[in-house]
Amino acid sequence: MRIFERGPMRERRWLLLPVVLLLSMALATSGCSQIKAWWNPDDDSTDLDDAANANEGEPLPPPVANVAISYRRPGDALARATVIKYFGADVIANHQRDATRTESVVRFDGGVPIWEFKADEGTFGSLTGVGAAKYSLKSVEYSKVPSHFTQVLPEEGPPEPLDRGAYYVFQIERASGSISYQAVKVLADGSLQAYNAQPRAGSSYLLCCNVTSDFPEPVILPDTTQDAGTANPSPDESPDQSGAPADQSATPPESSGPSLDPNAP
């Protein structure tokens, strides 16, 4: 009797064994699927990395230059604006202007006019006559020709973007005959180092004042394969003066800096 009683028990145990094995396999498979989902590259958890790398390899935006223009003589107006590009600079002399300011004679290399526009006087007559207010602009943005003016250079299309590491001289001519200049260096981060300037012989200009020691030094450009928001210039290239250029008068003002806001003579 005991033998026959144990027989069914053993049979039931053998019947339960496949069920136990199936449950064990199901639990093991469930654990693996959770791990795969965690590391799955298509999972939503990778969206942050994709967003962070979305801008990698994009070119840096071109620097922006806004030229502020002022007038000393009532009724004066803007007649012509010219931008000349240079590829290098050398400080050839320094002069002490007063106890706190030093003027520097800087010779630039190159000298290529890249943008020029003039007032369109065909309809409105003299710049100092009727309609002269249309030409008394307070500011001009580089590469954007204002209304009532005609582009001279280039003959077609906008001028080339400002280059990081290049030098530029902004020349502003007024209807009264006064001309003002500003020398500008474009830094690695796109900011501008600007000084009032007066032309000297050849491609030399007298800059005022306190030109930084790194002004003639080449600029190390940021890696354009990096995100434009994370590319930083080295500390040696960081300007102690930055900002958009504006026009300055031929007579240097009492303080140096990046502002090109002129005081027309």
The CA distances from residue 237 to 118, 186, 189, 245, 257, in Å, are: 35, 11, 9, 18, 16
**For all residues of the chain together, what is the average pLDDT?**
74
Confidence of residue 133 (pLDDT cuts 50, 70, 90): confident
Does residue 198 have a pLDDT over 50? yes
pLDDT at 31: 38
Instruction: Output the pTM of the full model.
Output: 0.64
pLDDT greater than 90 at residue 100: yes
Percent of the chain at pLDDT > 70 equals 57
12 to 20, 21, 84, 85, 212: CA distances (angstroms): 13, 15, 98, 95, 94
Q: How far apart are CA 2 and CA 5, in angstroms?
A: 5
**Strands (E) located in the chain:** 66-68, 78-96, 102-119, 139-141, 149-153, 167-174, 179-186, 192-199, 204-208
Whether the predicted pLDDT of 102 surpasses 80: yes
Sequence-separated contacts (24+) of 21-27 with Cβ below 8 Å: none
pLDDT in tens, 245-259: 555 444 444 433 344
140-156 tens-digit pLDDT? 999 999 999 999 999 99
Distance between CA 3 and CA 9 in Å, rounded? 10
| Pick from 147, 136, 149: nearest CA to 73 | 136
Provide the sign of the torsion angle of the four alpha carbons 190, 119, 124, 135, taken in this order: positive
pLDDT of 173 over the 50 cut: yes
Q: 57 — alpha (psi -120 to 50), left (phi > 0) or beta?
A: left
Q: Is 104 left (phi over 0), alpha (psi -120 to 50) or beta?
A: beta
- Is residue 197 within 8 A of residue 182, CB to CB? The reply is yes
Please tell me whether residue 250 adopts helix, strand or coil conformation: coil
Of the CA atoms within 13 Å of residue 171, those in its CB half-sphere come to: 20
| Burial class of residue 191 in the structure, from the number of CB atoms within 10 Å of its CB (0-12 exposed, 13-18 middle, 19+ buried) | buried
pLDDT of residue 132: 73
pLDDT at 218 over 90: yes
- pLDDT tens per residue, range 56-71: 557 788 899 998 898 9
